[in-house]
Amino acid sequence: MRFKIIPTIIIIVFTATFIIFFKGLKNSNIYTPNVDLEKKVPSLVFKSFDTNLDIISENIFNKNKFYLVNIWASWCIPCRDEHKFLMKLKKREEIELIGLNYKDNNKNAQNFLGELGNPYDKIFVDKDGTSSINWGAYGVPESFLIYKNKIIKRYIGPINNRNVIEIEKIIK
């Protein structure tokens, strides 16, 4: 009798464990951040890309204008892919593009812009990545659409044609 109880308990424990793990596989634990935001622009001090002067973020954004803050780097392959779409957005007068150069070498970043063109109205430097983290970025490229000092939309990954069309609809 005792010999039948132990295998039965082992089978029950194994079956229960299997069921728990199997149900866990069906539940997605992948975190997807909210891309539609109404979050205030973080108050940060940036270094200017050209002059290396300190700039306070509150002094950058005009209340009644659209801005697209784009976090990029010269070593980032998807940043090259999105560049043509940023150049397309640059032609729009209703929006100002602000680049945040992420953990990059200044010379490499200048070469990148020299080769592909500069879509940005202003560029700031984030040498250690803390400014991007304070924005809530997960990596590069990532972009934030801003209006009235609020982040109204977030684009994770490279900007594409669908995003450009959406941004153009929003800023009209």
The pLDDT value recorded for residue 144 is 95
For β-strands 66-72 and 95-102, DSSP reports them as parallel
- Is the residue at 6 inside a domain? no
- The whole-number pLDDT of residue 31 equals 46
Is residue 162 within 8 A of residue 85, CB to CB? The reply is no
pTM of the complete model: 0.76
**Spatial CA neighbour of 65 closest among 132, 123, 145, 158:** 145
Task: Inform me whether the pLDDT recorded for 66 exceeds 80.
Answer: yes
Q: Residue 102 falls within a domain, yes or no?
A: yes
Query: What pLDDT digit, counting tens, does each position of 70-126 carry?
Result: 999 999 999 999 999 999 999 999 999 999 999 999 999 999 999 999 999 999 999
pLDDT value for 10: 84
Both tokens assigned to 111 = 């070469």
> Would 77 be classed as within a structural domain?
yes
Is residue 61 helix, strand or coil? coil
36 pLDDT higher than 60: no
Q: Which domain holds residue 140?
A: 39-171
Q: How many domains does the chain have?
A: 1
For residue 121, is it within any domain?
yes
Give the tokens for residue 71.
Answer: 């976090």
SS (H, E, C) 83-128: HHHHHHHHCCCCEEEEEEEECCCHHHHHHHHHHHCCCCCEEEEECC
In a domain, 148, yes or no: yes
d(CA 58, CA 25): 45
Distance of alpha carbon 33 from its chain centroid, rounded? 10
d(CA 124, CA 45) in angstroms, rounded, equals 10
CA distance 153 to 156: 10
What CATH number did the domain enclosing 102 receive? Answer: 3.40.30.10
- Does residue 3 fall inside a structural domain? no
